[in-house]
Amino acid sequence: MSDDRRIPELRNIDPAITQWLHEVGIDSAEQLRAIGAAAAYRTMRAWRPWSAELIVLWALEGAINDVDWIDVTPERRLELRRQVDPDAAPRPEAQEYGRSGG
């Protein structure tokens, strides 16, 4: 199914992200979906390393799936992080530091 919406029409995409995507040649939802969140983020980070925070990665994934960025599951976030940084590891749980639940 074709998605000819422009980037600013997508969920989670603010004017700054719209501009960054435009700068790397991504101008439609169809283009973003075709390249995927991780590849789009890597491209943006290569172009603007000081601007591409991880929240942008979650925003792109949410835009592709039409969900709020906050609703991208922790498992999917880790998978995406590993796609953009293969050395990414999950954050240690509090119990690993000797803290108990109560």
The CA angle 6-43-41, to the nearest 5 degrees, is 70
Residue with tokens 């973003």: 32
State whether the Cα torsion 23-24-27-32 is positive or negative.
Answer: negative
pTM across the whole model: 0.80
Would you give the DSSP letter of residue 72? Answer: S
In CATH terms, the fold of domain 1-72 is DNA polymerase; domain 1 (1.10.150)
List per-residue pLDDT tens for the chain, 102 residues long. 567 789 999 999 999 999 999 999 999 999 999 999 999 999 999 988 777 789 999 999 999 999 999 999 999 999 999 999 877 666 655 444 454 454
- The DSSP 8-state label assigned to residue 67 in this structure reads S
